[in-house]
Amino acid sequence: MTRLQQLHNEFDQSPWLDNLSRDRLTDGTIQRFIDGGIRGITANPSIFAHAITGSDAYDADFHRLLDADTSLEDAYWDLITTDIAHALELFHPLYESSGGGDGFVSIEVSPTIANDTAATIDAARDLHKRIDRPNLLVKIPATDAGIPAIEAMTSEGRSINITLIFSLERYGQVIDAYMSGLETLLSAQGDLTRVHSVASFFVSRVDTEVDRRLEAMGTSEGMGLRGKAAVAQAKLAYQQFRTRFADERWKKLADAGANLQRPLWASTSTKNPDYPDTMYVDELIGPDTVNTLPEATIEAFEDHGTLAHTIDKGHEDASETLDRLHKVGIDLLEVASVLETQGVNRFAADQDSVLAALKSKLA
């Protein structure tokens, strides 16, 4: 049994792959990951930019689309939705065998509309209609404009992956949006059992930004807090998850067949080489969670990762860590705002870069 399989079988955590490309779909790589314990897959504009610009696997499809007078942007979406549809087929047996618990594939709405609620709703709805599969999750960013879009899509019975969550406060809003959407669906006598959702709480980027600020301060107390913010915040997010999904509001929805909105740990590769390369896996293991892993992190975890129930251990220490960060001058809400803006801008830039690369190919 692989360590990834043990994560699920012994600790009820679902490891998902954070990568997707046509090469990996067609050469059997993705199927081998499934056989080895991967239970879902996520993609974003950065991943697709790397896939499309770094391979000629898309060229024949691109030429076909151009021959049909398809615009560059429409061609881009056709290329990536084709990959998503292929991945959905590969993961569908797992979706069926898990009773809808896993086997999901995620595709993100355009990051250029992250601050436009109406456009996000239209785009998410269009992707669900265009790729009409039960194991599809459409990713909506947890921006101010994204929160009402999450509620709207959930109220229509659509499954959503909420991405770019960086703070406990925003996570609370995401939970509210999910429950409110389910309540609207329930009042319309919709089928709650078909709605699935994960809330993607980003991890390593928090440490990167907080550590940068601590190092700029240069105090001994601050330097001693490096590498501690992300795991502490994630542990408290899990505590919030357990509390909110056990209250009376949730019980009414659960009685009607609603599925938990599982916390998903994203950005789990270690950015600082001084930190253990599996720290954002080892420290966040526990039931009803998902961890999305890039291939290098999977390889490291299979080689020397630690299997232990850790996610709900040390909550008091986690709270103390956040208190100490506040005392030395770290404003985690401001950190989250910066990271959210950076995340949206980075994804938008990557989408622009792949469109520019396609334009170059056209020329």
Q: pLDDT tens digits for 28-43?
A: 999 999 999 999 999 8
- Look at the alpha carbons of 138, 2, 238, 157 in this order and tell me if their dihedral is positive or negative: positive
Q: pLDDT tens digits for 132-173?
A: 999 999 999 999 999 999 999 999 999 999 999 999 999 999
Alpha carbons within 13 angstroms on the beta-carbon side of residue 224 total 6
Range of the domain at 339: 3-362
Q: pLDDT tens digits for 17-29?
A: 999 999 999 999 9
Spatial CB neighbours of 300, under 8 Å, sequence gap ≥ 6: 277, 278
Q: pLDDT tens digits for 193-236?
A: 999 999 999 999 999 999 999 999 999 999 999 999 999 999 99
pLDDT score recorded for residue 361:
79
Structural domains of the chain, count: 1
Predicted TM-score (pTM) of the model is: 0.95
CATH number at residue 300: 3.20.20.70
CA distance 176 to 52: 37
* 128 pLDDT above the threshold of 90: yes
The whole-chain average pLDDT of the chain stands at 96
| Closest by Cα among 123, 124, 131 to 105 | 131
Residue given tokens 């609603």 in the structure block: 258
Please identify every residue annotated as catalytic. Answer: 139
CA distance 223 to 78: 48
| Token couple for 38 | 């991967």
Neighbours of 13 (CB within 10 A): 24
